[in-house]
Amino acid sequence: MLKKEMKGIVKNPIYYIVMILPFIITFIMSEGTKNYLLQRPEFAHKINATKEIVLYSGQILDAKIQFAVSELNFMLLMASILIGLSVFEERRLHIWDRIVDKRKFVLVKFFAHYIFSVVMIVFNLILFAIIFDMQTPLQSTLILLSMPTVSMLFGILIGLIVQNRAMLSNTILMIVMFMGFFGGALSLTSVLSNTKFMNVLMYISPLTLANKLIYKNLINVNPGRELVIWIAFILGFAGLCIAFIERRIKNGTVI
């Protein structure tokens, strides 16, 4: 069953588009931000001044690095649409009704799309390393690998709840875009954190905490209690989604 699901993913061109989107969006957003900054003399002076720093040999959290992290996390969350649609289509075609072991079916969907997410992470990290000279430590990689747990379970749950395709896409897209807006996918996290009200509202999105943990790790700063909060969030959200998914399986999800 897993092999069949993986073949379906490999044959679907949408997955390839989603896979490369983090790099494309990062390039566009970072170049736009750089041009905007260089048009203002005060920022251009500061950018040139940073080139003279010699006491710090680690990574500089410039626009490229910030957007690379936030866009990759954002697209990992956006991948929930893919698994949600996959689950919904099985229901729409009444394949779901004929499946005896529905829990195994859900697990196969989860692991197949999680593997896709891992490939997307590795692919983009390689591109970021080559093009942006971004070096990703193990802890940052593990945080990135935890994000698909959130998106896959959320996508499965919505796929089991909604009654039509448009509702599924619109629901997930609206929630993910909302999370992306507050999580630094559309504006630099450093800008949001220095903007009145937004510096508080940005923590509505789990992307903010994930991005912040990775930024700290990239510049060798201790994550502190934020890492504990992230682990607690992952476990809590996963437990909640699994409970609701189990309930939908027991009560039936006929369209």
* pLDDT tens digits, 42-92: 444 554 544 444 444 556 777 788 889 999 999 999 999 999 999 999 888
Predicted confidence (pLDDT) per residue in 100-134, tens digit: 888 899 999 999 999 999 999 999 999 999 998 88
The two tokens of residue 67 are 């957007």
Q: Residue 112: which residues within 8 A CB-CB, separation 6 or more? A: 2, 5, 6, 9
The two tokens of residue 88 are 């919904």
Are the C-beta atoms of 133 and 62 separated by less than 8 Å?
no
Helix (H, G, I), strand (E, B) or coil at 55: coil
CA–CA separation, 192 vs 168, rounded Å?
29
- The pLDDT of residue 163 is 85
Query: What are the helix and strand counts (H, E) for the chain?
Result: 13, 0
Element (H, E) at 33: helix 13-38
- The pLDDT of residue 115 is 95
- The pLDDT of residue 36 is 45
| Residue type for position 179 | M
What residue spans define the domains of the chain? 2-251
